[in-house]
Amino acid sequence: MEPVTAPPLSPTDRSRVRRHRDRQRGDRAELHAVLDEALVAHLGLVVDGEPVVLPTLHARVGEVLYLHGSSGAASLRGGEPVCVTVTLLDGLVYARRWFTHSANYRSAVVRGHARRVTDPDEHLAALRSLVAAVAPGQEEYAAAPSRKELAATAVVAVDLDEASVKVRTGPPGDGDAVAEGDGRWAGVVALETRVAGVTTCPALPAGTPVPGHVPAVGDAL
């Protein structure tokens, strides 16, 4: 068998990272990981010649990124250029100098054109993925959409043909300053997103058990 070679993240020059090129990653798996871990994406559009950026839920299926049709995606007819960016903030980099402060992060910038999802099977599968992306298990537990609900929920797709991934990890970059004996502490404050509480809908009887697929207090997401 021929080895399967994943396509590069982008064939275009404009998606080449210009600042901090050492932070650019070229693995498609890394793109997938960043998109899959992020709970929120930021969708960029051009409206009347000016940029608009709106938060949206997203889900990746293979090499396609789906965006929930509420938010800005609702205004997309299809064919418009879009940019979808997700950012995972992994840590804050405390340095010895203002200048060398930074953040540890993983970000993905996807550029492409919006495609309205009209095929009924793809539409349903995309909605299932959108539910599973933010609330895994709910795609089985909760009720699938009625025909009316389906019609009321637009989904936009963007092919993952052109993307860039940028990652910063590790300690502050001014470790050399230690030799100068300035004596200041420096390091990394790592961050995580955790479940702070689980509140049952007040319309349900008190004590209604929480199903096992729902994350519990303290779980990292």
Show contacts with a copy of itself in window 153-172 (CB under 8 A): 153, 171-172
Residue 211 sits in the site that holds a copy of itself (CB under 8 A): yes
Closest CA to 107 of 51, 8, 35: 35
12 in contact with a copy of itself (CB under 8 A):
no
Phi/psi region, residue 176 (left: phi>0; alpha: psi -120 to 50; beta: rest), is alpha
Shortest Å distance, C-beta 7 to a copy of itself = 21
Contact (Cβ atoms closer than 8 angstroms) between residue 66 and residue 58: yes
* Alpha carbons 131 and 139: distance in angstroms, whole number: 6
CA dist., res. 9 & res. 159, Å (int): 11
Among 52, 78, 79, 118, binds a copy of itself (CB under 8 A): 52
Among the listed residues 102, 97, 120, the one whose alpha carbon sits nearest the alpha carbon of residue 176: 97
**Residue 103, C-beta contacts closer than 8 angstroms, at least 6 positions apart:** 89, 90, 91, 92, 93, 168
Write each residue from 78 to 107 as x if it is in contact with a copy of itself (CB under 8 A), else as -, in one continuous string.
---xxxxx-x-x--x-xxxxxx-x-x-x-x
3 or 183: CB nearest a copy of itself: 183
Contact with a copy of itself (CB under 8 A) among 65, 109, 160, 163: 109
Residues 180-199 close enough to bind a copy of itself by CB under 8 A:
182, 184-199
Least distance to a copy of itself, CB of residue 9, Å:
16
Q: How many CB atoms lie within 10 A of CB 60?
A: 22
Least CB distance to a copy of itself at residue 80 (A): 9
Stretch that binds a copy of itself, among 3-11, 29-37, 58-66, 69-77 (CB under 8 A): 69-77
